[in-house]
Amino acid sequence: MRYEYTVTKEGGETEIMKAMSWKKLFKSLLLKYPEFSGWCTYINKKGHVQVKNFINGKIVHERKRNKQSDQGSSGSSK
């Protein structure tokens, strides 16, 4: 298998699963644990650590937020 994924349940149990792609791991994980809550960690092909969160079998997408403050967003104030 190409990638090793560390699957961690909410209780802290860890398990290493192997798969060829993220999509295939996701499918096999939900077949094994239909209501999975926890997270999966892996290193992508560029060497960066990726973490995906799950709650009740669904991926939690975190929005990227603008790090600047909203003080100047309403126009120029003099």
For residue 33, report the phi and psi dihedrals to the nearest 5 degrees: -130, 90
Domain ranges of the chain: 3-60
Tokens 């009740």 label which residue?
56
- pLDDT tens per residue, range 46-78: 999 999 999 999 999 877 776 665 555 555 555
Distance separating the N- and C-terminal Cα atoms of the chain:
61
DSSP assignment letter at 64: P
- pLDDT tens per residue, range 28-50: 999 999 999 999 999 998 999 99
pTM of the complete model: 0.71
CB atoms under 10 Å from CB of 54, counted, come to: 21
Residue 6 confidence (pLDDT): 96
**Contact (CB, 8 A) for 39 and 17:** no
Nearest to 53 by CA among 66, 33, 36, 31: 36
